[in-house]
Amino acid sequence: MSKTMSFAAVHFSVAFTVAWLMTGSWVVGGVLALVEPAINTVAFFFHEKAWERRERRKMRLATLPI
């Protein structure tokens, strides 16, 4: 979970900066910085879980006798 939260902090910062630079609006930058990374962070968490399951499955298959 620490990795996910670290990713979220970086993503919030980048999203805010890009949105603010593109629009010149602190409000738009703030809204985009909250909405997009929050959704992306949840998606990233589930993406990591899916990859963990995939790796465990690969390990199980690799240890099966032939």
State pLDDT tens for residues 56-66. 999 988 888 87
CA angle 58, 44, 9 (to 5 degrees): 135
Q: How many angstroms separate the CA atoms of 20 and 5, rounded?
A: 22
Q: How many angstroms separate the CA atoms of 14 and 4, rounded?
A: 15
Q: How many angstroms separate the CA atoms of 52 and 44, rounded?
A: 12
pTM exceeds 0.85, yes or no: no
Q: How many domains does the chain have?
A: 1
Both tokens of residue 2? 């620490």
Each residue of 26-44: pLDDT tens digit? 999 999 988 987 888 899 8
The one-character DSSP state at 64 is S
